[in-house]
């Protein structure tokens, strides 16, 4: 692990694995301490993985100034360049997929292959806007947002899962309230997501081979939205997996799909 100053921000990063280079970009609110780490997946067995704490989160610097998805893309590209990476694959999940879109649009010569997971292009062609309403939602509403199969009947049959999510929400909220810098960084990410709109520029992604995948049961990002996004990217491949917004992370078949795409 280490630190690199990029765009006047000290970014905390980690490198693991061996093989072709892959830059991974986290979803909203996630950093290198996230339990669902990219380093716990099969990817480091096949690739050299670079991941980092985004500005405002983890051990990277915070800033009082608002920032955009494009700013985060420049951070990611600047970090890779500072480490001597001139060409690499990029994998972004959820908000990280938005950052990945801007990265390849702003730094096309750096990106070899592109993986966009459970994400959208924003604007009028994006998913329904809910990211700024999560604190107002009930546990059941959050469950359905993550996976549309998690309805009232599912909740009644899995009370332990509902209780676990409720406790996680309480813990996360308490951590946010206890750490003003973390809350600020998260809120800045929310504002950046709300302003993201790359849909009309996606046809410019011509050099990078692209895989777009989404969960069939993703309530926060309905499949028709990323399917349309993939249609905007020349020769992009779209795959629908039998999951919600997050459960794909635990499926070896999804990782096999990603690995095969990047190695092909």
pLDDT at position 18 is 97
Asked if 155 contacts 135 with a C-beta cutoff of 8 angstroms, the reply is: no
pLDDT at position 170 is 86
Across the beta sheet with 2-6, the strand order is: 2-6, 9-17, 48-52, 21-25, 88-93, 111-117, 209-215, 237-241
Q: What is the largest CA-CA distance in the chain?
A: 52
pLDDT at position 150 is 95
pTM above 0.85, yes or no: yes
Beta pairing, strands 111-117 & 209-215:
parallel
Name the least confident of 49-63, 162-176, 202-216.
162-176
pLDDT at position 131 is 86
Q: Of the candidates 87, 11, 88, 89, which has an alpha carbon nearest to the alpha carbon of residue 52?
A: 11
pLDDT at position 23 is 98
Q: How confident is the prediction for the chain on average, in pLDDT?
A: 95
pLDDT at position 98 is 98
* pLDDT, tens digit, 9 for 90 and up, residues 175-232: 888 888 889 999 999 999 999 999 999 999 998 899 999 999 999 999 999 999 999 9
240 - beta bridge partners? 214
pLDDT at position 81 is 98
Q: What angle do CA 173, 179, 184 make, to 5 degrees?
A: 85
Strands, E assignment, 126-245: 209-215, 237-241
DSSP letter at 209?
Answer: E
Question: CA 149, CA 189: separation in Å to the nearest integer?
Answer: 28
pLDDT at position 176 is 82
Average pLDDT score over residue span 95-99: 98
Strands, E assignment, the chain: 2-6, 9-17, 21-25, 48-52, 88-93, 111-117, 209-215, 237-241
Using 50, 70 and 90 to split pLDDT, how confident is the model at 169? confident
Superfamily of domain 2-130+180-263: Alpha/Beta hydrolase fold, catalytic domain (3.40.50.1820)
Using 50, 70 and 90 to split pLDDT, how confident is the model at 102? very high
Average pLDDT score over residue span 12-30: 97
* pLDDT, tens digit, 9 for 90 and up, residues 106-149: 999 999 999 999 999 999 999 988 888 888 888 899 999 999 99
Q: What angle do CA 32, 76, 215 make, to 5 degrees?
A: 65
């Amino acid at each position: 692990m280490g630190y690199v100053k990029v765009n006047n921000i000290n970014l905390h990063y980690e490198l693991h694995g061996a093989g072709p280079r892959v830059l991974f970009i986290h979803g909203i609110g996630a950093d290198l301490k996230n339990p669902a780490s990219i380093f716990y997946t099969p990817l480091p067995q096949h690739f050299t993985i670079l991941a980092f704490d985004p500005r405002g989160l983890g051990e990277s610097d915070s800033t009082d100034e608002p920032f955009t998805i494009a700013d985060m893309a420049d951070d990611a590209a600047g970090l890779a360049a500072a480490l001597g990476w001139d060409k690499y694959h990029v994998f972004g999940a959820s908000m990280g997929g938005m950052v990945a879109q801007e990265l390849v649009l702003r730094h096309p010569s750096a990106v070899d292959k592109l993986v966009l997971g459970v994400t959208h292009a924003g604007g009028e062609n994006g998913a329904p806007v809910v990211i700024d309403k999560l604190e107002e939602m009930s546990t059941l509403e959050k469950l359905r947002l993550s996976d549309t199969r998690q309805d009232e009947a599912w909740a009644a049959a899995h009370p332990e899962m509902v209780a676990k999510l409720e406790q996680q929400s309480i813990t996360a909220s308490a951590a946010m309230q206890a750490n003003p810098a973390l809350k600020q960084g998260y809120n800045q990410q929310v504002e950046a997501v709300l302003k993201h709109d790359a849909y009309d520029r996606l046809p410019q992604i011509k050099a990078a081979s692209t895989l777009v995948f989404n969960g069939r049961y993703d309530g926060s990002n309905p499949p028709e939205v990323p399917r349309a996004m993939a249609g905007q990217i020349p020769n992009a491949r779209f795959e629908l997996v039998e999951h919600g917004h997050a459960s794909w992370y635990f499926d070896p078949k999804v990782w096999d799909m990603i690995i095969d795409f990047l190695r092909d």
